[in-house]
């Protein structure tokens, strides 16, 4: 078999595509756990988190501290499990945007002058991971995918039973 640029490129596509589930799993596990730990830290130290939110001039700091902590903690667990992943990323993304607009506002203001500071800021990798999971989904190695498979099997089984039952007279 002659290897042409087209067949080599096709093989590269297949190989890299086969790595997608593992990459999405690794992202979800690492950053889901990181979100969970960060949120748990906020919830376990709610007074300190509220004080910090007060210094950032976030309105209703105690409510927002609890909300941010709960979002990161429980959203992180859902992300880690790959359960309701795309839905879980929405409040996580919103929380990271608020983090940028409050704790790292100077970085945002100078995004185009100094983009390295934007990507070095604490919220960046959390935000990037949440956006990746929102766009690509949690991957094949997730509870979301398992639920879809089970639902499809149940649907296929019920269609098979319906097809074998005699028609009503």
How many residues belong to the chain? 169
pLDDT in tens, 65-112: 999 999 999 999 999 999 999 999 999 999 999 999 999 999 999 999
Structure tokens that stand for 12 in this block: 């590269």
Q: Is residue 42 part of a domain?
A: yes
Nearest to 77 by CA among 143, 159, 154, 3: 143
Structure tokens that stand for 116 in this block: 């390295």
Q: Is residue 7 part of a domain?
A: no
What letter would DSSP give residue 2?
A: -
Q: Is residue 67 part of a domain?
A: yes
Q: Is residue 144 part of a domain?
A: yes
Structure tokens that stand for 5 in this block: 């640029």
Q: Is residue 125 part of a domain?
A: yes
pLDDT class of 157 with cuts at 50, 70, 90: confident
- Round to whole Å and give the CA distance between 96 and 34: 13
Indicate if the pLDDT at residue 169 is higher than 60: no
Nearest to 79 by CA among 126, 31, 128: 31
Q: Is residue 136 part of a domain?
A: yes
- Please count the structural domains in the chain: 1
pLDDT in tens, 118-129: 999 999 999 999
Q: Domain limits at 50?
A: 22-158
pLDDT class of 2 with cuts at 50, 70, 90: confident
What letter would DSSP give residue 60?
A: S
Q: Is residue 165 part of a domain?
A: no
Q: Is residue 169 part of a domain?
A: no
Nearest to 36 by CA among 88, 71, 87, 85: 71
């Amino acid at each position: 078999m002659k290897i042409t640029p087209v067949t080599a490129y096709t093989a590269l596509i297949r190989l890299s595509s086969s790595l997608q589930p593992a990459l999405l799993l690794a992202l979800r596990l690492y950053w889901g756990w990181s979100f969970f730990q960060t949120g748990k830290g906020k919830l376990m130290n709610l007074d300190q988190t509220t004080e910090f939110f007060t210094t950032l001039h976030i309105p209703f700091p105690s409510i927002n501290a609890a909300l941010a902590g709960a979002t990161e903690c429980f959203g992180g667990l859902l992300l880690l499990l790959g359960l309701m992943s795309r839905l879980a990323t929405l409040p996580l993304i919103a929380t990271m945007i608020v983090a940028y607009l409050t704790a790292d506002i100077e970085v945002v203001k100078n995004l185009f002058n100094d983009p390295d500071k934007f990507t070095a800021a604490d919220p960046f990798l959390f935000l990037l991971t949440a956006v990746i999971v929102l766009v690509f989904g949690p991957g094949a190695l997730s509870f979301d995918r398992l639920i879809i498979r089970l639902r499809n099997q149940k649907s296929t089984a019920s269609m098979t039973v319906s097809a074998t039952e005699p028609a009503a007279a």
